[in-house]
């Protein structure tokens, strides 16, 4: 176990926020509170010397570390390698943004990786400890595809898996229901007036290892109930889904990718449709950010990343700051 940099001064006052981890590059932080402690499940960025492209080939990560903190702003503990690419029987390359969940004494790590045919799938690994190490299931979740799994357990105990990402995340290649390698980025020019591609959601089975239903579209509509369009790059879904519940409402938040916003939308159901509400966070330093939100000791926090330490888009560092809500449940836009 290594003790690393803490959030540092300025935290909570919305001054300059410091990276949580400084000895490794980390990104895509999914945070959860397990046994009263904050656990963070990030990607572990490395310099793999792969040239940058629209497919994200330069994000060539090979393992996961789990971090934990007993308080926001406190020491960050690195629990070491929790899962390594070489120990995932079906995976070929690129361990991207993971998430975690707990049920009946077992912790579940959900992660995307390209299989041996270079198609993104979503895998599961299990552990008796939130810090791992995790043991991967021999096959990816049947019927899974694309990237960025986010698990949400509702107040009635039902767990849902949200996932998907366009461009390098390959979601567009499944547009016809079968994998089509020729479909690039967000389906291309001339489709700007069509509904945008949607993230997916599926109930998880009781053992948390399979989908209990065929994944459904997470529809996002505007205030008039019209679907957001593919050409609406400032508002449409790109990747990085997250779900949380607040005062009985479901909040679906996500990244707009090429326009670099985090946005959110609200619904009365975990399936949606979700009504677009606004920008959660303006662009950070670097190409992407990817977030999670968690309630801890009566306050809500957003975990995210930027590229402050390296100045390079593929070598990122995770951060945390407080999330401020207005009285109607809407979220104050963060300008990092």
Instruction: Tell me the catalytic residues.
Output: 28, 239
Q: What are phi and psi of 160, to 5 degrees?
A: -125, 145
Phi (first) and psi of residue 103, to 5 degrees: -155, 135
Q: Is 147 within 8 Å of 141 (Cβ atoms)? A: no
The rounded distance, in Å, linking the Cα atoms of 279 and 291 is 13
Min dist CB 257 to ligand FUB, Å, is 8
Write down the least CB distance from residue 32 to ligand FUB, Å: 17
**Pattern 133-162, ligand FUB, x by CB under 6 A:** --------------xx--------------
d(CA 191, CA 294): 36
How far apart are CB 84 and ligand FUB at their closest, in Å? 17
Whether residue 260 contacts residue 288, with contact meaning beta carbons closer than 8 Å, is answered with yes
Of 65, 114, 290, 319, the one binding ligand FUB by CB under 6 A: 290
Number of other CB atoms surrounding residue 116 within 10 Å: 10
DSSP state of 62: -
CA distance 90 to 222: 40
59 lies in the binding site for ligand FUB (CB under 6 A): yes
CB of 158 to ligand FUB, least distance (A): 25
The one among 144, 288, 292, 317 contacting ligand FUB by CB under 6 A? 288
Asked if 317 touches ligand FUB (CB under 6 A), the answer is: no
Which tokens hold the place of 318?
């995770």
Residue 240 binds to ligand FUB (criterion: CB under 6 A): yes
Closest to ligand FUB by CB, 240 or 270: 240
Binding footprint of ligand FUB, residue count (CB under 6 A) = 13
Which of 17, 21, 27, 204 lies at the binding interface for ligand FUB (CB under 6 A)? 27
Query: According to CB under 6 A, which one of 28, 78, 186, 266 is a site residue for ligand FUB?
Result: 28
Nearer to ligand FUB, 69 or 318 (CB): 318
Task: Report yes or no: 101 and 34 within 8 Å, Cβ to Cβ.
Answer: no
As measured in angstroms, the least distance from the Cβ of 114 to ligand FUB is 12
102 within 8 A of 108, measured Cβ to Cβ? yes
Residue 18 or 58: the one with the smaller Cβ distance to ligand FUB is 58
**Nearer Cβ to ligand FUB (164/215):** 164
Binding residue for ligand FUB, selected from 99, 186, 239, 266, defined by CB under 6 A: 239
Separation between Cα atoms, residue 324 and residue 58, nearest integer Å: 34
State the greatest distance between any 2 C-alpha atoms of the chain, in Å, as a whole number: 52
Tokens 């670097």 label which residue? Answer: 286
> What single DSSP character describes residue 174?
G
- Closer to ligand FUB by CB, 249 or 282: give it: 282
CB atoms within 10 A of CB 52: 13
Q: Does 96 bind ligand FUB (CB under 6 A)?
A: yes
Min dist. Cβ of residue 104 to ligand FUB (A)? 28
Please give the distance of CA 308 from its chain centroid, rounded to a whole number: 20
Binding site for ligand FUB (CB under 6 A): 27-28, 43, 59, 96-97, 147-148, 165, 239-240, 288, 290
């Amino acid at each position: 176990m290594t003790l690393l940099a803490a959030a540092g001064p300025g935290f909570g006052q919305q001054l300059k926020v410091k990276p949580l981890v400084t000895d490794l590059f980390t990104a895509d932080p999914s945070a959860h509170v397990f046994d009263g402690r904050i656990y963070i499940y990030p990607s572990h960025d490395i310099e793999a010397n792969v040239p940058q492209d629209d497919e994200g080939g330069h994000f060539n990560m090979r393992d996961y570390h789990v971090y934990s903190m007993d308080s926001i702003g406190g020491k960050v503990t690195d629990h070491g390698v929790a899962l390594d690419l070489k120990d995932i029987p079906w995976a070929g390359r690129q361990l991207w943004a993971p998430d975690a969940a707990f049920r009946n004494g077992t912790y579940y790590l959900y992660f995307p990786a390209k299989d041996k045919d270079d198609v993104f799938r979503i895998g599961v690994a299990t552990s008796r400890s939130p810090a791992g190490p995790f043991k991967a299931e021999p096959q990816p979740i049947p019927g899974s595809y694309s990237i960025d799994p986010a698990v949400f357990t509702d107040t009635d105990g039902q767990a849902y898996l949200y996932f998907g990402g366009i461009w390098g995340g390959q979601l567009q290649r499944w547009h016809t229901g079968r994998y089509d390698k020729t479909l690039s980025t967000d389906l291309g020019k001339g489709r700007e007036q069509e509904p945008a591609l949607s993230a997916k959601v599926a109930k998880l089975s009781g053992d948390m290892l399979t989908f209990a239903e065929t994944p459904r579209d997470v529809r996002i509509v505007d205030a008039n109930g019209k679907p957001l369009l593919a050409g609406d790059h400032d508002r449409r879904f790109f990747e990085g889904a997250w779900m949380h519940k607040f005062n009985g409402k479901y909040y679906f938040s996500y990244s707009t990718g090429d326009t670099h916003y985090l946005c959110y939308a609200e619904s009365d159901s975990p399936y949606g449709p979700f009504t677009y509400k606004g920008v959660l966070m303006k662009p950070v330093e670097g190409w992407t950010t990817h977030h999670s939100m968690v309630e801890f000791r009566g306050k809500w926090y957003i975990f995210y990343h930027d590229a402050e330490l390296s100045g390079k888009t593929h070598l990122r560092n995770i951060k945390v700051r407080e999330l401020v809500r207005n009285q109607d449940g809407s979220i104050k836009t963060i300008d990092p």
